[in-house]
Chain A
Amino acid sequence: MSPSNIVFVLFVIAATGFFALNVQRLVGYMRIGLPDDRTDRPLRRLGNVFGIAIGQSKILREPVAGVMHAMIFWGFMVLTVGTIEFVLDGIFPGFSLAFLPTPIYRLYALSQDVFVLLVLAAIAFAFYRRLVLHPRRLEGDNLEHADALIILGMIGGLMVSYLFANGFLAALHPDAVAPEKFASHILGGVFAHVSSRTAHVGYDVSWWTHGLLVFGFLNYLPYSKHLHVATSIPNVYLSNTSGPWQKGVMKGMDLEAENAEQFGASDVNHLSWKNLLDGYSCTECGRCTAACPANITGKLLSPRKIVVNTRQRLMEKGPVVTGDRMEFAHPMLVHGEGADGGAVTVAEILDERRLLDTFITEDELWACTSCRACVQECPVGIDQLEIINEMRRHLVLMESRFPPEVQPTFQSLERNGSPWAFSAGDRAKWAEGLEVPTMAEMVERGEQPEILFWVGCMGSFDDRAKKIAVAVARILTAAGIKFAILGQEESCNGDPARRLGNEYLYQMLAKQNIETLDRYGVKTVLTSCPHCFHQIGNEYPQLGGNYDVVHHSTYIEKLLADERVPLGDGDRKTLRIVYHDSCYLGRYNDVYDAPRDTLKRSLPVITLLEAPRSRDRGLCCGAGGGRMFMEEKEGKRINIERTEELLATGADEIAVACPFCMTMMSDGLKAKESTVPVRDIAEVVAAQLSAQPRAGQRIS
């Protein structure tokens, strides 16, 4: 072994050892989080890894930056093989992958140079983007750019040192470099003009530079937001945001747990280890924040900041509670926006500072509409919304802190089973004159309906939404469906309470509803509100309520497809309609086509327009997450932003499939003094109903 060989081996041992220590440290911090089982459904999770992580499917939702990142990412995967060869060559001089079957080795050799050039190009573009273009989502939140520039510089350095090392080697010994490494040979041709001595020095310098960078990079990661290089693939595997299981379901909570002292989260140790891993995995790309309706319209909330703050607080508290004696490195650990890593004592860290208030303010948390746009966009499967939801729970359940205007909503939910103080006795009033039986009436007659129509509070009490309920009932009647409603036995499904953090009130309402549904032996529930739909279908199972729940868009679409709805020919006018996606139908439940197909099937001549932000990129109306019951004082109103976007499509009419969207869009249109009507898809269909079935239509 040559001395330089020994030095390298010692260097590798030291560098990997230090990295291992850091990994151990980070894993230790993560373990102060709460348990959360993510070992289930391994195949489904692998699928996510291949699609989202390796396939870069979410990264590529943004075409330019997406391709740039994919080049670097795929480049890293390919070049890692070369790096392994390089390190082994350093330890065992002369090691080469040339023992591989020739075609494979040649392909490998070619891939190295190709990707080195691709990565270099991508890095060059990344510098240009950051330093010249300044894309909006990379600004704001007091982001620090130094970290990114250092990383980009290191990656660039890795590529250049690789090329130079191979170039000098090709100049010295052309045969030692595989002919497929075309870029190395071109550079070798250039270096052929320098003296052999210079080339030797050049080779050594480049080789060592590369070696130092490889291990420097590795050991820089734990101190950088670019830790995602190491964590993103496991994070995607462990994430639930794209399944397995139903998306967007809030965590269950045992309110009767013996000795439970903490509900929700005010600090990192109240979050799950997965939430903390999310912190490690965030590279501050800002795709979440760029999609956040609250942020877009000027509110304080930035989902990126929520995740970054979680990491910062973990880096501050982790060393203290795990006793890893890294407190001295505090400023280095707590890097990034809003970090004031300087003079914070251990006592302050433990007693005075916490994630809530110190890092994340109440106003940020209450600005969230729970629309899931952030979660949808995150390329590494981070669940920003879960942190927000857990912190809201803490605010309400532990400290009774919430915007004062929410109090009447909580009070009315508790007293009247509806967010508004209306009498349950009036719930069935919308159906007067329609001969819609209640469940109690049907059971008394000894009958059982095919479906239970869950009307919801909006459909029961809001004058505009009552018309949607009427439309649904008319369609069901026309299609000959035997259905019933609960009438005064219906209560709010609990969604507003749950999203507002009031799990206690939520469970009270949900359990009461489950009791009612089970008492009648209800199996199939039809809802005209996506919030009822999501809640009863996806979240009631946590409390033992299991029903087949269908939203009216899907149900009516099926009735239309089966030609069970007697439609007239209408006036055969071409109607240009733009459909506004409901978050709880779309991003929560992947129902994108049914409402659109319903429109297409029910109207003989229709042009379906799409807003720039539609389907899984659809912009929230602003009412979700309990925002319906809060003031919107900061910034532009979300419903105005959305209304403007929909109006800009030039549509004659706006279609919605959610009564809350209906309210927000109606208000937006009024504010814009627009005469464009907004209708629920059920109303569009109901308006086409005819006494005379269309020729050839089958009526069951």
Chain B
Amino acid sequence: MRIAVCIKRVPVMDVKFRIAADGKSVDETGLKFDVNDFDLWAVEAALQLKEKTGDGEVAVFSLGPDAVQEQIRKALSMGADRGVHLKADGTSADPLSIARALAAELKATAWDVIFFGRMAIDSADQSVGPMVAELLGLPCVSAISSLEIANGRGTAKRELEGASEIVDFPLPVVLTVDEGLNKERLPSLKGIMAAKKKPLESKPAPINGATVNVVKMELPPERVGGRIIGEGAAAVPELIRLLQTEAKVL
């Protein structure tokens, strides 16, 4: 089975971000980067599928500057067979421009399954996977939380709000992976060492034609915390009021 996985390099989120001087991006000084969580699960899904079918290859694609090779290596150390670095200097806020750059490369091979993470946790987009499917004319099931593939067909579960649906699809297919499908494996030391010797090809993949652009980025008001609104049951009405009007969660 020929399996492709597209992964994204994203900053580690457990920090207080700063906005860069251009006001349009996040200041990357001091940030650590890793593979987007959903993409790690996509890699895991690809590896499990390959292990189950017993043959084939898992190729990992990542679009971006040279630094993304670090993330490709991580996927290789988990067990993917080869990596393709689609070299682009910047990035884009337009998911379609990214999808086009990826699709241009992916279309060269007859993949059985192309995996994506459901979303990128930095840009909070969930669009690239289904867009690539459209561009390649492939069926797509997004945000899957379970997966069975056999005899050229598959079944997946999608979590909806308060429900779930079971989806049938043929191969080849594009699948985007949600939380809950699996837990990614930790690369073994053996895997880390083997990854250094696996093929990683780098080729230019310019991102063009964006019609969505960042105007500015800003930090939301800082979470205050520590606000005691009252004591005992007497404070309940005030809590309800705040949940309705301030937090808007009720």
Contact = CB atoms under 8 A, between A and B. Distances in A.
Interface of A: 255, 261, 263, 396-400, 402, 404, 407, 410, 412, 414-416, 421-426, 502-504
Contact of B190 (A398, A404, A423, A426): A398
Interface string B1-28: 0000000000010111000000000000
Contacts of A502: 186
- Interface footprint category on B: 10 to 19
B187 interface: yes
B186 A415 contact: no
B15 A263 contact: no
17 contacts: A255-B189, A263-B190, A396-B186, A396-B188, A397-B188, A399-B188, A400-B185, A400-B187, A400-B191, A402-B186, A407-B183, A412-B14, A415-B12, A415-B14, A416-B12, A416-B15, A423-B15
Contacts of A416: 12, 14-15, 32
Interface string B177-201: 0000001111111111000000000
Contacts of B183: 404, 407
B186 A410 contact: yes
Contact of B189 (A397, A412, A421, A424): A397
B16 A425 contact: yes
A362 to B, nearest CB: 15
SS of B interface (majority):
loop
Nearest to A502: B186
Interface string B86-120: 00000000000000000000000000000000000
Contact of B15 (A396, A399, A424): A424
Contacts of B190: 261, 263, 397-398
A656 B230 CA distance: 35
Contact of B34 (A255, A396, A415): A415
SS of A interface (majority):
helix
Contacts of A422: 14
For the complex of A and B, 10 pairs with smallest distance between CB atoms: A397-B189, A415-B12, A421-B14, A423-B15, A400-B186, A400-B188, A400-B185, A416-B14, A423-B14, A263-B189
Contacts of B192: 504
Q: Among the interface residues B185, B187, B190, which one has the most CB atoms of the partner chain A within 10 A?
A: B190
A471 B64 CA distance: 48
A289 B15 CA distance: 44
Contacts of B14: 412, 415-416, 421-423
Contacts of A423: 14-16
B68 to A, nearest CB: 17
Nearest to B189: A397
Q: Among the interface residues B185, B189, B192, which one has the most CB atoms of the partner chain A within 10 A?
A: B189
A425 B189 contact: no
Contacts of B187: 400
Contacts of A414: 34
A396 B187 CA distance: 9
Contacts of B189: 255, 263, 397-398, 503-504
Contacts of A263: 189-190
Contacts of A410: 186
Nearest to A262: B190
